[in-house]
Structure 1
Amino acid sequence: MSLLNFESSGPAPRGKKKSLKIFLGIAALAGSLVLGSTLAANIDLNGSQPVEFGQGVAQTVDCSGTTELTITPNAEFTNATGGGAFYFTSVTVSNIPISCYDKDFTIKAYGNSGNSPLELFNTTSTSAVVYNNSGTFEIWTGSTGASITSDSGTFTFTFTSPVALSTQVFSLTIESNDHIDVEPAFCNTLNGTLNLLVCTVNSGVTLGSSSLLIPKRYTLRISDPNVTITNNGTITNNGTIDSSGAITNNGTINNNGPYFNNSYSNSPTGTINNNFGGVFNNRGQVLSNGTINNRHIFNNTSSNPDAVYQGDLGIITNFAPYEWNGPLPTGWGRFNVN
């Protein structure tokens, strides 16, 4: 994943295109972070190298090897009664080599704080996903509020219903991954709604003794604090769980998500109930500002020093006979034993 940082500098000029000053610089990582076929690279602010919306930036991704792609973000003025505003409206990626055939490109934008990507189009869509079908670039199946133009080694992804103001965009990420041919089954099992890579569950569901897999790159989102998923089987998370509701575990949860994906994000209203007979295996990271009730076995075997991190409102309560194996939580919350 490549990270491109932006920072506004001065007022926007008049006209169709916005010339918004952004600054780009490359900072060395202490080794590359690699997840499957995704190469992670980091680009930090550097005031000595100004770049503008409409100006291309050279950057490699995993599938391109040493070939640098050119990523060009674009902003346009949208008129409205009583005024208008500049929006982040499209991104062009060019100089794509044939080594990127049969790969998916995922582009996201971020503000100047927080880890959540900005909503870019179709009201809530945060990812622009493009499939390189042997040189023909195709928009992800099911995408609405966006369009794509494809040419030899280049594509432009356009937000036909843009959401993010150009002044909100501080950084971009682009990553390449192996193409996913079919939609995963987990969202249908949970009676959820799949929008690109995010499965939103709005009603409670009980899982039987079967297994449920959340693949890499996918997010399970529970936005309603009144929704509970009850697990009597095995849930394996290789992607992201973003929960404002409750997950009650009577079986096994294997959390394998990579730490920088905030692989289990438990919001202030969220609850994890690990009941008697349940096993929670954390090999990624649990970020909790809510409640975790552990009545049986919690195996914290992640190598992340903040494998279980609690915010100010986080509460972990262990009920006998419980087991907590591995490092204790870090952060600011409470760790209780009853």
Structure 2
Amino acid sequence: MLIGIILVRMRPPMSWTQTQFLFSYENGFQRRGLLGEILRWIFPNGMTEADTYRVAALLTVISGIILFVFMFNTLREGQNSGILLVLFSSSVGFATFIGNTGNLDALLIITVVAALFLTKQGVLGVITASMFLAAAALIHENVLPYFALLLGFDIWIRYKLHKGRIFLAFLPLLIVGLAASTVIFNGTHQFVMLDILLETAQTRSIDFDIRPDTFEPVVTFPPDMPGRLEAVWGSSFYLFRLIAFGLTGFLLLGVMLALIVFASSHRPFGDKLFLCLAAIAPISLCVIAFDVSRFVSIALINTYLIIAILSRADEEFRVAMERILSPSVVVILLLLHGQVMLRDLNNDPGFSGGFPGAILNQLNWKTSQL
């Protein structure tokens, strides 16, 4: 199943992703620059388009395998482990993540898996795990809404009887929040640097054109000079993405969270609230960015990570989840996974082959007859 998803959903990376590979610290410290700085050491003479393809494919394949192996090792003791792995590897969230070939989220996934893998003994262990995510802020500041609460939930579950449980559980949010804020504050360039950044990136691009608006999030624009991305907010296609993909994503999230909450009926209300917040936290980025499907996909992946977290710490939850995943429920989930296709970041229109993207195809040919 994993190999099938990779073969079907991986496509050439979009120009935004290729351009981000060219970010570096050559012109000073910069947000989202760590990977590009490492690639500058590996490709000192610049990158060809073929180089970007290889890097993108490698990042996505490695992160996908690491995520799958973590789920396998965590869930293998349960009777329904095979069913959960099939559901995860065929899930809309995982498929969309793989489809966002080469996106920096791949490295963030690797860091959160490493943080969840650690035993986290005592305050030092919690700080060490949190520092994995704090370091990931150098790759992309989205690590804060993506996974800080998720790591906190893992610590909350592990330290059930610890009197400093609340402090330990929110320590990742504090540490990662401080790291992300520092990176954003110190890594955002003044507007006068924009032309220099574009010129530097173009010299590193050997045979492909860079995408200039990729630099807009790392540059402070004057109030009277909005960037190109500002126009996206009012576009009809963005409104379609926000409504169609957002509502579809919330439907899928609602189904997954309902199953988890039902299996957690024996746990306190605070645990259920915490896990719901940890799952949906990535959706909060929709108020400042446009990649609706991308944020939904990470939230959906979080639901499976929450199942893994609870399964290894709570035998009663694991048994309840096995009971809830009846044949009819599994069939419904598989049908949803097979029919729903969120928009990948790449430029391929394959997302329109499934719901809700298929709505666009239906509207196009039907309205053309009016």
TM over 0.5: no
TM range (shorter): under 0.3
**Richer in helix (by share):** 2
TM-score relative to the length of structure 1: 0.24
